[in-house]
Amino acid sequence: MTQVSVQRAGTTKSVPDEEREKTEILNRYRGLLRSIRGERTQEETRAIRKAFNIAVEAHKGQRRKSGEPYIYHPIAVARICAEEIGLGGTSVVCALLHDTVEDTDLTLEDVRDLFGPNVANIIDGLTKISGLQFTSDSAQAENFRKVLLTLAQDVRVILIKLADRLHNMRTLEGMVRDKQLKIASETQFLYAPMAHRLGLYSIKTELEDLALKFKEPVIYEEISSKLKKTEAVRKRFISRFTLPIRRSMEHEGFTFEVKGRPKSIHSIYNKMLTKNVTFEEVYDVFAIRIIIDGESDNEKADCWKVYSIVTDHYQPNPDRLRDWISIPKVNGYESLHTTVMSPGGKWVEVQIRTRRMDDIAEMGLAAHYRYKESAEQNTALDDWMSQVREVLEDPSSNAIDFVNDFKLNLFSDEIVVFTPRGEMRNLPSNATALDFAFDIHSQVGRQCIGAKVNHKLVPLSQPLRSGDQIEVITSKKQQPKEDWLNYVVTAKARQKIKAALKEQKKKLAVVGREAMQRKLRELGAKVDDRNITLLTEHFKANTSTDLYYNIARGRTHVDGLDGTLVRNGRLVFPKKASQENDRSLEDIVGEIRGNDAQALVIGETLQQLEYKLSSCCNPIPGDDVFGFITNNEGIKIHRVNCPNAVQLMSNFAIRIVKARWKGKDTVEFLAGIRFSGIDAVGLVNKITSIISHQHNVNMRSISFESNDGIFEGKVMAFVHDTDHLNSLMEKLRRVNGVRMVERLGT
Ligand code: MN
């Protein structure tokens, strides 16, 4: 008897109570309907009911890993869409249907017939997205890109996907361990940043916390239990801290809410890791939020009024004032942040915003995003979407690069900068002037030769800061350079530069190859692979394409081959000549100086003595000079304004001797000039010709270093005296693009 009853109990348990489940499904459905905000048209209500019925039917008999009816999941996802993201009827319909095409007999065609093309397109995007894994595998990256194309057409695809992911994370308990890890990692890697980028702060935070919970359960539990233990202390502090503020605000007639939430578990853990501190050192770091209720015509003024109240009571840190109200973030975030000193000597961040701003901050701009056919006003989210679309539609971009670039943009914070006319542009932090140029227009980017930030000339690589005003300087002759890739951070700039470089290289390689073939024929050598290989080695190029490219760029000169031995059509190179040693300019100066050392007379009696010109200030005739008797190098001549002179003259007055130039001499002296400016095509040529032809100066050496579009050059040239040198420098200053000219060793 006992056995029978056990048997019966077991049987009853394993067959779910269908009636009870039906009631529960309906209850959850009603809860979903209640959670949808705002007015609903009859048509929408009908569509939602239809979607619900179809989903129930399609998922009939399916169960989740936890044993619950599968339909609980789409209902929950739909509810997150409505309640936590603030989406409307169409999204609720799509959320209810989101797993049908993938997991049931329902086809996309069925959905299109039943609900029209809009819903079908969203379901299509959702179905594709769910099949993806976000690793660095190229086929999957390509898939990801395709889906993002869909996303760019309708942002609801990604929003519903986020709701789906959030519910899966909330119910991850039932999964096996390796599935948990995979889903949690994906969430951390892609969905949390995406939620952040779209301004869904609370979803982002929850996703991060849940990911940590499953990836690092021990740490998660530890932090979460410590947070619970310290809750009372925190509450007491917040209540004491906010008391005077609350009183003043009530006095001013504000209705408001004050929240003081601790940081998320994930962010506490992150801080502990990155700053290498203990829980005790970070747990009490939190922000106090003041939310102003009620309708207001002037939200901005209200927020600043509250700011004034807060700072009446507590001393603010002027460096930590953030005004996201005048300039909202790209994802729509608006808030006024200040950090003030609490009586206990601790900095406390206070966030001031209206209820509307708080809604956007919690649920994202998506909550307020309208999906009408007509062209809407350009919201910041639109801008972001159109950027994503632009990158996606670029056929030259490679899928893996794209994913990486996209991730880059997802993770980065942003800055706000201005055009010369005061137009605002949002860029990721660490964006450079070059990123800015490409952000304005790809043409502007490609022809960018320099930029003025706040009216000052800066290298293209200089990271911009919020509030900078940037003027881009362009030249029609400019072309994108390879090193540009080292200092752009935006996906758009990277794509455009890479595409342009590829194009350039292709064109140039053809030109270079032709020049090479011409030269081979001229030398009577065969144009064949063997000779090309010999040449590639001879010119130390990695590949023949690189060689052609270098020839076309003028880095490698085919004329250098004149006189090369050719035997039976084969090039014969002599044994490698020993390399010219790389001596510094100073060495060369020193050597040459030593040769004509008789231009000075030294001492009271103006004797002809052996002397050396010092290398620290490079004196030339015309300079005010003095001699210094050294311990073991004889007399050294310094300029009076030499940086070392003051010290020498004050400490060793007794070893100073007079020195004077013997008047105009035919001897030429080597002098160095350093100059810098904006790198432009043909500039080296211009400078060289000024020095050698126009001024009749004999140039010893010239070196150029181009860095981020700013060049620095050094010229060593023979001059007669300071007058000669000065007039040469004056001419150089007048060259277009040259910004600074100075004598070496001043
Ligand atoms: Mn799902």
- Average of pLDDT values for 422-439? 85
Identify whether 43 is a catalytic site residue: no
Question: Do residue 197 and residue 254 come from a single domain?
Answer: no
Mean pLDDT, the chain, integer: 78
Q: Which helix (H) or strand (E) holds 217?
A: helix 217-229
Residue 78: per-residue pLDDT: 96
Distance CA 41, CA 46 (A): 9
694 has pLDDT over 80 = no
Q: Let me know if residue 453 belongs to a domain.
A: no
Distance CA 406, CA 398 (A): 12
CATH number at residue 353: 3.30.460.10
pLDDT digits (tens, 9 = 90+) for 79-120: 998 888 877 788 899 999 999 988 888 888 999 999 998 899
Residue 129: per-residue pLDDT: 66
416 has pLDDT over 60 = yes
More confident residue, 390 or 571: 571
| CA 97 to centroid of ligand 1, rounded, Å | 9
Q: Let me know if residue 361 belongs to a domain.
A: yes
Look at residues 547, 571, 595 and tell me which one is the last residue of a structural domain. 571
Distance CA 64, CA 50 (A): 23
- Average of pLDDT values for 648-666? 68
Which pTM was predicted?
A: 0.52
pLDDT band at 32 (very low <50, low <70, confident <90, very high): very high
Q: Let me know if residue 11 belongs to a domain.
A: no
Q: Let me know if residue 143 belongs to a domain.
A: yes
Identify whether 103 is a catalytic site residue: yes
- Average of pLDDT values for 525-551? 84
Most confident of 85-94, 572-581, 602-611: 85-94
- Average of pLDDT values for 450-470? 82
| CA 250 to centroid of ligand 1, rounded, Å | 46
Residue 580: per-residue pLDDT: 40
Q: Let me know if residue 392 belongs to a domain.
A: no
Q: Are 150 and 124 in contact (CB under 8 A)?
A: yes
Question: Do residue 40 and residue 173 come from a single domain?
Answer: yes
Question: Do residue 566 and residue 691 come from a single domain?
Answer: no
- Average of pLDDT values for 133-153? 50
| CA 170 to centroid of ligand 1, rounded, Å | 12
| CA 42 to centroid of ligand 1, rounded, Å | 27
Question: Do residue 331 and residue 208 come from a single domain?
Answer: no
Question: Do residue 238 and residue 367 come from a single domain?
Answer: yes
Q: Are 163 and 85 in contact (CB under 8 A)?
A: yes
Residue 370: per-residue pLDDT: 38
Question: Do residue 242 and residue 199 come from a single domain?
Answer: no
Closest CA to 565 of 556, 578, 557, 575: 575
Share of the chain above pLDDT 90, in %: 19
Look at residues 661, 687, 703 and tell me which one is the last residue of a structural domain. 661
pLDDT band at 590 (very low <50, low <70, confident <90, very high): very low
Which of the residue ranges 206-215, 332-341, 603-612 would you say has the lowest mean pLDDT?
A: 603-612
- Which of the 8 DSSP states describes residue 297? S
670 Cβ contact list (under 8 Å, min separation 6): 588, 589, 592, 593, 618, 620, 700, 716, 717, 718, 719
Question: Do residue 618 and residue 689 come from a single domain?
Answer: no
Residue 632: per-residue pLDDT: 73
Question: Do residue 619 and residue 594 come from a single domain?
Answer: yes
Q: Which helix (H) or strand (E) holds 26?
A: helix 18-35
149 has pLDDT over 70 = no
Neighbours of 441 (CB within 10 A): 13
Question: Do residue 553 and residue 593 come from a single domain?
Answer: no
Q: Let me know if residue 27 belongs to a domain.
A: yes
540 has pLDDT over 70 = yes
Look at residues 193, 215, 237 and tell me which one is the last residue of a structural domain. 215
pLDDT digits (tens, 9 = 90+) for 245-258: 999 999 999 999 99
367 has pLDDT over 90 = no
Residue 44: per-residue pLDDT: 86
pLDDT digits (tens, 9 = 90+) for 697-710: 666 667 777 767 77
| Residues spanned by the domain of 560 | 500-571
Number of domains in the chain: 5
**Catalytic entry in 103, 142, 299, 362:** 103
CATH number at residue 49: 1.10.3210.10
Q: Let me know if residue 528 belongs to a domain.
A: yes
Q: Let me know if residue 730 belongs to a domain.
A: yes
- Average of pLDDT values for 646-660? 72
Which of the residue ranges 15-19, 463-467, 468-472 would you say has the lowest mean pLDDT?
A: 15-19
721 has pLDDT over 70 = yes
Q: Are 4 and 12 in contact (CB under 8 A)?
A: no
Question: Do residue 34 and residue 170 come from a single domain?
Answer: yes
Question: Do residue 175 and residue 251 come from a single domain?
Answer: no
Question: Do residue 553 and residue 614 come from a single domain?
Answer: no
| CA 455 to centroid of ligand 1, rounded, Å | 53
Largest CA-CA distance found in the chain, in angstroms, rounded: 135
Q: Which three-class secondary structure state does DSSP give residue 216?
A: coil
**Catalytic entry in 17, 57, 102, 723:** 102
pLDDT band at 411 (very low <50, low <70, confident <90, very high): very low
Residue 170: per-residue pLDDT: 95
Give the amino acid at 313: H
- Which of the 8 DSSP states describes residue 652? -
| CA 186 to centroid of ligand 1, rounded, Å | 15
197 has pLDDT over 90 = no
CATH number at residue 725: 3.30.70.260
Give the amino acid at 134: F
Which of the residue ranges 65-79, 473-487, 601-615 would you say has the lowest mean pLDDT?
A: 601-615
Distance CA 487, CA 493 (A): 10
214 has pLDDT over 90 = yes
| CA 249 to centroid of ligand 1, rounded, Å | 46
